[in-house]
Structure 1
Amino acid sequence: MKFSWKIGSIFGIQIYVHFTFFILLGWIAIVHYSERGRIEDAVLGVLFTLALFFIIVLHELGHAGAARLFKIHTKDITLLPIGGLARLEKIPEDPIQELIVAIAGPAVNLILALVFYILIVISGVPFDISQLDLIRGNLLAQFFWTNLILAGFNLIPAFPMDGGRILRGLLGIRMDFLHATRIAATVGQTIALVFGFIGLFSNPFLILIALFVWFGASQETNMAQVKFTLSKTSINQLMLREFHVLSPYDSLAKAVEMTLSTQQHDFPVVDNERLVGMLYRSDLLMGLMQRGQEALVSEVMTRDFPTVEASDKAEEVFSKIQSLSYSVIPVTQQGILVGLLTKENIAEFLMFHTAIAERKGKSFIQR
């Protein structure tokens, strides 16, 4: 996610913090200071919030653990003012699986709340469960209430909270993924409007939450539309069919000439009709600087690179290509190079498909 900084990793999952989390810390400090006008209260409030990092990460690891049951990898976890966001390799296709993955996070918080309650009972600390106090209450009580609040808040049926995914999972049992997402997103954006309206007259932090929910719902709808469109498309329909290739025995001078005379910047390297490498522009530039233009393509080409089959579903490849640094991926069929796939290909296909779909929608309305 943009504007995020890496702070570590757990079980191979990268942990990031979004810059808006620091806005939350500032707001927490102000709230605690305003109670009694003491700097100590503000510092303790910030330290308590920082302690919640671990709880939020555990919440997201709950999602990651449940996703792993279905062999879905978690790319990273980003901490946000409204909680955390575990970015999965892909969204579970089975609505029941999405339900399990979505529920796993709040379930962790409920379990933690139970653990803290047991510790309160064992320690004999006076505790009135009917009184909520997150500022001056006992530390165990604060963590108890915090976990309950995190669980309840995340169960609100609005993206990107878990409740939005739970709602989509429930709807997905009776309808297709796209329609379930659209309904869940509409519910979420309605809730965002309510949050924003209330925030205007009470807590400005609700406005920030409303913005996250609104844009989160929009993003989920867009991704669902992309998933729906690409699920009916094969790589064969997207790939570039007209392209140039190089031989491993060609010089870098020839590669430069081909780059300047065509609009192609990355070249498959083919030897006896067999794909043996890729000469990316970065390879060419580095080779020219280190070896000169008389060097052979085989000396600088990339030998370890991803490929896709022409028959592969575009939806499956799309989720993988997003995390790759390669600008071009060769497309093969029974081991023979038949095309090239770029992110621009996919973006243009989706752009044209959207335009055609909108035109059909307008024609239907006019009728």
Structure 2
Amino acid sequence: MRTSLKIGTIIGIPVKLHITFLLIMPVFAFVFATTVPPLGFAGTASPAMVYVLSLITTILLFTCVLLHELGHSYIAKGFGVEIKDITLLLFGGVSSMEEIPRVPSQELKMAFAGPFVSFVIGVALLLFNVLLASYMAGYSATSVFLMLNILGSINIVLGLFNLLPAFPMDGGRLLRAWYAKRMSYVKATHYAASFGKMFAFLMGIFGLFFNPWLILIAFFVYIGASEEDRATTVTVLLERYKVREIMSPEVVGVSPDINVEELSKFMFEKKHLGYPVLKGNSLKGIVTFTDIRNIPPHERYAKLVSDIMTRDIISVNPQDPASEAFKVMTRNNIGRVLVVDNGELVGILSRSDLMRAMMLLNE
């Protein structure tokens, strides 16, 4: 099931809307519609007009979030980082980058670009609001003034919030960049993540007494810090290995010419739910138990593996760093990846293989 919808491309970067964004839009509009000025439109116009203004403000707000992410992406592209896409989510936006720059000065510039864009937008809107108010003195433009004030204020808050020194906010990356000038990248990440966890813990305690929403944010920050620490450590350590050094060269495959019923029995005997499809030494595709489930039992004798297999193969090269295989598995949410060299299957690499390599490196 597709959870994101592409709505366009900006500076060569696909922009997507996640399903959660579509769910949160009416909620934001409702909040603006029921909040009194200066941060809402309640009581400023007819109910229908209030909701129209609130929906427009919500759309413009997420446009500002998109510009925030484009700020990160524009700087990152300048450093040669590939941007897969930008997705607008429930809690804002996220840029999917192949890899965060490890040069401290580059990461610092990239991390600060987003908050900087938010600050520029916020200050510009608030100044424009003041100028517009003086120019239109005597005219009724309450809704316009309120909208500019809301958007300007939220952008300032967004910029400040993202400067909090904790992952996954931009402030966590700024802190890591500062540490990375003084120590290794892994240690810098660990220090920055530890600071973020401590920050999250204090925020959660504060939330217990003053605002329950802070507990949710604290949980989000703690998980983000933990994930960044783990992913960075694994990636950096695995760069020491090539895929060929830790892959399993013996791979059990199936022929594209057997029928689906035979494949079903084979899976039951071997107790694995996915196999590469091989014609001699040539890799033709991959077939899983899910593919079998889509075929009614009475049709499985007539259908061949070649009819149901997936030809879009996710694979790595044996000369790739093992860290690249880890990224491929994480990006595609899979537990193993095929190793292909010049169209031939030469091995398979699983998460277990990667974790075993990690254990050896840490000894």
Do both proteins adopt the same fold according to a TM-score greater than 0.5, normalized to the shorter chain? Answer: yes
Letter of the aligned partner of 1:59 in structure 2?
H
Listed as ranges, the gaps of 5+ residues in structure 1 are: 127-134, 361-367
What is the CA-CA distance between 1:285 and the residue it aligns to? Answer: 4.4
CA distance in 2 between partners of 1:356 and 1:234 (Å): 14
C-alpha separation in 1, matches of 2:147 and 2:265: 69
2:278 corresponds in structure 1 to 270
> 1:307 offset after TM fit, Å?
2.4
Q: Deviations along 1:4-59, whole A, 9 cap, x unmatched?
A: 97576442222334799689859956993699xx9537967965556422212221
Distance between the aligned counterparts of 1:121 and 1:29, measured in 2?
Answer: 21
Indicate the residue corresponding to 2:16 in structure 1: 14
Identity level (%): 29
SS of match in other structure, 1:57? helix
Aligned-partner Cα distance in 2 for 1:27–1:215: 29
Query: Alignment RMSD, CA only?
Result: 4.1
- Structure 2 gaps, min length 5: 136-142
For 2:163, the equivalent position in structure 1 comes to 155
How many Å apart are 1:162 and its aligned residue?
Answer: 0.7
Give the whole-Å Cα distance in 1 for the aligned partners of 2:148 and 2:347.
61
Change (3 A) 1:351 1:53: farther
| TM-score, normalised by the number of residues in structure 2 | 0.76
* Letter of the 1:172 counterpart: A
Q: Does 1:97 align with 2:106?
A: yes
Q: 1:200 to 1:150 in 2, by over 3 A?
A: same
Residue of structure 1 in register with 2:138 after alignment: none
Are residues 1:120 and 2:129 paired?
yes
Name the aligned partner's letter for residue 73 of structure 1. I
Q: Give the aligned residue type for 1:346.
A: R
Partner of 1:72: 82
Alignment-derived partner of residue 345 in structure 2: 337
Distance 1:229 1:96 in 2: 22
In structure 2, the CA distance between the partners of 1:246 and 1:200, relative to structure 1 (3 Å rule), is: closer
Aligned 1:39-58 pairs, distance under 5 A = 40=43, 48=57, 51-58=60-67
Letter in 2 for 1:336: E
Partner of 1:350: 355
* Partner residue in 2 for 1:32: 35
Change in Cα spacing, 1:248 to 1:49, as seen in structure 2 (3 Å) is closer
Aligned mates of 1:87, 1:146 — CA distance in 2? 24
Deviation of the 1:160 alpha carbon = 1.4
Cα contact 1:186–1:217 (8 A) shared by 2: yes
The amino acid that maps onto 1:309 is N
Matched, 1:311 2:311: no
- 1:330-362 Cα offsets, whole Å, 9 max, x none, are 213454322123xxx2156427845994xx5xx
Aligned in 2, Cα 1:143/1:261: closer, same or farther, shift over 3 Å?
Answer: closer
**Which residue is 1:180 aligned to?**
188
Q: Tell me, yes or no, if structure 1 residue 202 matches structure 2 residue 205.
A: no
For 1:24 and 1:225, how far apart are their aligned partners in 2? 38
Inter-CA distance 198–323: structure 2 relative to 1 (3 Å threshold): closer
Q: CA 1:80–1:254 in structure 2 vs 1: closer, same or farther (change >3 Å)?
A: closer
